[in-house]
Amino acid sequence: MDTLTPRKTALIVHAHPEPDAFSTAQMRVAAEELRRSGYVVEVVDLYADGWSPVLDRHEFEPVRGPFKPQAEQMRAVREGTLTGEVRAHLDSVLAADLLVLSFPMWWFSMPAILKGWIDRTFVMGALFGGDFGLFDRAALRGKRAMLLVTTGGSAESFSSGGAFGAMDDFLFHIHRGMLEFVGYEVLAPVVTYGPAHLTDAERRTALEAVRESFAAIGNGLVDEPALA
């Protein structure tokens, strides 16, 4: 490996309460494969870390007047008073060339603990707004992000015309409203449909498919945007 070129970094933020879940297994495979292709990988395991998803006034005390969360985020960035915890997560986000959000689909979206990580870590004034704009003027332009997901429903139920409708429609609010919003180029998601309904052999095959996807991403073979 070329020792002069700085190594790429990936941040995987994982949100599953069970270390033995399929979702957690695919997160580990993703981390392994990115490391194998030369990435420096940081894994944030939100449940294991006891992450609090609640954005409230306590992390901005003293709050003068009515609590306006984004105004307080801007003030905290300006005055250098973000809490150590939020600052550390924000620094990890800023340092990472690739962000992977790893989660089981809950209520056609992400688990609350991960939504709350976005609420508290995607700080206004640091990633967008203030000195930055939105989308291609936001702070994370030039970086890539993607989702690593499991579902209860089958691939067929998540097709257009299927019982639920197209997966891309459910992920749009994350792809566009969270990731592209702060500047990321969003790669196509890696989704394992219904791991609970698979045999052990099928689960192993599904994990191998996740491994191949991340090998391709790690080796720069994937530039497929999630949104046209």
Ligand X SMILES: Cc1cc2nc3c(=O)[nH]c(=O)nc-3n(C[C@H](O)[C@H](O)[C@H](O)COP(=O)(O)O)c2cc1C
Please count the residues of this chain forming the interface with ligand X, following the rule CB under 6 A.
15
The pattern of x and - marking residues 180 through 199 that bind ligand X according to CB under 6 A reads ---------------xx---
Pick between residue 25 and residue 96 the one whose CB is nearest to ligand X. 25
d(CA 144, CA 185): 5
Which two structure tokens, joined as six digits, stand for 199?
């045999």
In the window 9-48, what residues touch ligand X (CB under 6 A)?
Answer: 16, 21-23
In the complex, least distance from residue 37 CB atom to ligand X, rounded to whole angstroms: 24
In the window 196-215, what residues touch ligand X (CB under 6 A)?
Answer: 196
In the complex, least distance from residue 126 CB atom to ligand X, rounded to whole angstroms: 31
Pick between residue 121 and residue 150 the one whose CB is nearest to ligand X. 150
Q: Does 153 bind ligand X (CB under 6 A)?
A: yes
DSSP-based helix, strand, coil % in the chain, nearest 5? 45, 15, 40
Query: What is the three-class DSSP state of 69?
Result: helix
Candidates 1, 4, 107, 199; binder of ligand X (CB under 6 A) is 107
The phi, psi pair for 15, rounded to 5°, reads -135, 80
Q: Are 85 and 121 in contact (CB under 8 A)?
A: no
The b-or-e profile of 52-69 (16+ CB within 10 A means b, else e) is ebebeeebbeebeeeeeb
Name the site residues for ligand X (rule: CB under 6 A): 16, 21-23, 104-108, 150-153, 195-196
